[in-house]
Amino acid sequence: MHILAIDTALELCSACVATETTDGVDLLAQESMTLARGHAEALLPLVERVMARFAGGFEGLSRVAVTVGPGSYTGLRVGLSAARAVGLAANIPVVGVTTLSALLAPQLALNGDGLVAAAIDARHGAVYLQAMSAGEGIVVPPTHLLLEEAADRLGAGPVTLVGSGAASLAAVLRARGVAVTVAGAAGPDIAWVASLGLVADPAHALPRPMYLRGADAQPQDRARIARR
């Protein structure tokens, strides 16, 4: 099975083509760039460059995986639209991979039974959080929490943190005497998006955005014109 993976959820614009092997996943082509904005202009040319390095072309793909959030509203829509377009044109399934899962997966592989948590900066003193351990499974489901609330949910530790909100959450935990390791603050590795996409069930891992809170922009009620 060959998969095209796409990630535009955070401050990365990434794509890769990967295939299953007996040892895991083999990357056949990949490209990633740090990009705070401008995903709409950058993604399709990036995908074209990646696909040009894959001998099978779009006809050789078996499915598409795309990050579904949490993340930037605009970035998510760009990635989802591109993934759905490829899936429709190539007549192949499209699966969604949560950003938090893609961040957690490599840490779960490295930390055995230890508690690992992905924390994405949600601004305004809050994070998008998910915590897991190999032994207990999901300890904290994907949720939007203030930093102090997130620290409450993680308990006495020790814990390994990853993601753009890891440093801020680590500071709160350390102030409480919790042992914390910050494993990284970057976005998800596109190879892990592909790996999770290869094992996802298309019937359940739907390519729909995961929104854990409302939009920052809200209509101004006092500026509305009353209907007649």
pLDDT at 68: 97
Sheet containing strand 94-97, strands side by side = 24-34, 12-21, 2-7, 63-67, 94-97
Q: What is the pLDDT of residues 19-48, one digit of tens each?
A: 988 877 899 999 999 998 999 999 999 999
Bridge partner list, 138 = 132
Q: Would you tell me the crossing angle of helices 190-199 and 99-111 to the nearest 10 degrees?
A: 90
Q: How far apart are alpha carbons 111 and 103 in whole angstroms?
A: 13
pLDDT at 114: 87
User: What percent of the chain has a predicted confidence (pLDDT) above 90?
Assistant: 82
Q: What is the mean pLDDT of residues 185-190?
A: 94
> At 222, is the pLDDT very low, low, confident or very high (cuts 50, 70, 90)?
low
Which pTM was predicted? 0.90
Yes or no: say if 110 and 130 are a contact pair by the CB < 8 Å rule.
no
Per DSSP, the three-state class of 187 is coil
Q: How far apart are alpha carbons 4 and 83 in whole angstroms?
A: 9
Yes or no: say if 103 and 162 are a contact pair by the CB < 8 Å rule.
yes
The residue among 67, 51, 71 whose CA lies nearest residue 59 is 51
Per DSSP, the three-state class of 66 is strand
Q: What is the mean pLDDT of residues 147-152?
A: 97
At residue 135's C-alpha, the angle toward residues 191 and 201, to 5°, is 45
The residue among 60, 95, 59 whose CA lies nearest residue 80 is 95
Which residues, in sequence order, are CB contacts of 91 under 8 Å at separation 6+?
none
pLDDT at 217: 44
